[in-house]
Amino acid sequence: MADVHPIQVIDLSKQFPRKKGLGTVQAVSGVSFNVQQGEIVGFIGHNGAGKTTTIKCILGLLKLSEGKISLWGGAPADSKIRKRIGYIPENPDYDDSFTPMEYLSMFASMRGLSGVDEDWMKLLKRVGLARWETTGIRQFSKGMRQRMSLAIALQSNPDLLIMDEPTGGLDPIARKEFREIIIEENRRGASVFLSSHILSDVETICNRAVILAGGKLMAEGSMEDLLGEEHLYRITVVSRKTGEEVEETIPEADLQNRIDALRRDNLPIVKVEMALKSLEDVFLAATGKDSQ
């Protein structure tokens, strides 16, 4: 059944009124994709591409201008459905006057969870806040607030984790720990929808990726499909103008033609080597930023 995906977005469009003057700004336009059960889907795009807007539409924080969103076939506003979600917002913040333990206890009560303080201690230990359980959140750094946010998201053992830039601003060790937790949660059975700027993270842990640019869907598919089986080659030539070495990456099919063209132009070829295609290449190609 197609409509029981954890997330199904069909022709989503969202407009906002302009801050100055009349008219609207099109933040997202005709976006469709889905997240299937047990997948980790990366959601990538440059700043202002519409990622956070899409996530907020999925969570019911924004009204849709057009289109339809269903979570396990139901409406995002349905409280039973929302109980199955763990959410990490971008740059999360919490009331300064509470400690992590107080926050977790209150969130547990609001969610109707039956955990006790020991459970929340284990959770804080898991996200790396074991020593800080009774410290006021006002003393927390950005990274610690991200960890706090992860603890709250994981508290209910959610079936779906929606993460908006969860590793932004984290150091490499913390990023690695976050990645490991995401993989553990996925193994437990949770589907993950991960919005991130850090393409290497997405490439490492995601099964699929959705690429957004200018509010439009540019590419979508499994990592294998996106990275492709086609080999890429990197040709290094010496620029006639500057005398410096310049690199150019091209698909295998175009390799011979390109070498012939360079020879016709009498450009000295320094080397030709096989290049591994990265998600960055795919992203740049999909968003049209690789023309240079």
| Alpha-carbon gap, residue 129 to 122, rounded angstroms | 10
User: Does residue 141 interact with another protein by CB under 8 A?
Assistant: no
User: 3-class SS at 157?
Assistant: coil
Q: How far is the CB of 257 from another protein (least distance, A)?
A: 49
| Alpha-carbon gap, residue 64 to 55, rounded angstroms | 11
Q: How far is the CB of 204 from another protein (least distance, A)?
A: 26
Contact 208, 39 (CB under 8 A): yes
The window from 34-42, 72-80, 229-237, 241-249 that contacts another protein (CB under 8 A) reads: 72-80
Q: How far is the CB of 87 from another protein (least distance, A)?
A: 5
User: Does residue 95 interact with another protein by CB under 8 A?
Assistant: yes
User: Does residue 77 interact with another protein by CB under 8 A?
Assistant: yes
Residue of the chain from 26, 30, 32, 98 that contacts another protein (CB under 8 A): 98
Query: For the chain, what percentages of helix, strand and coil (3-state, to nearest 5) are there?
Result: 35, 30, 35
Beta carbon nearer to another protein, 152 or 218: 152
Q: How far is the CB of 9 from another protein (least distance, A)?
A: 16
Residue of the chain from 110, 173, 253, 276 that contacts another protein (CB under 8 A): 110
Q: Amino acid identity, residue 191?
A: S
Beta carbon nearer to another protein, 112 or 172: 112
User: Does residue 63 interact with another protein by CB under 8 A?
Assistant: yes
Q: How far apart are the first and last CA of the chain?
A: 44
Q: Which of 209, 185, 186 is nearest to 198 (CA)?
A: 209
| Alpha-carbon gap, residue 11 to 60, rounded angstroms | 16
Contacts with another protein, residue ranges (CB under 8 A):
16, 56, 59-63, 75, 77-79, 82-83, 85-87, 89, 91-95, 97-98, 106-107, 109-112, 149, 152
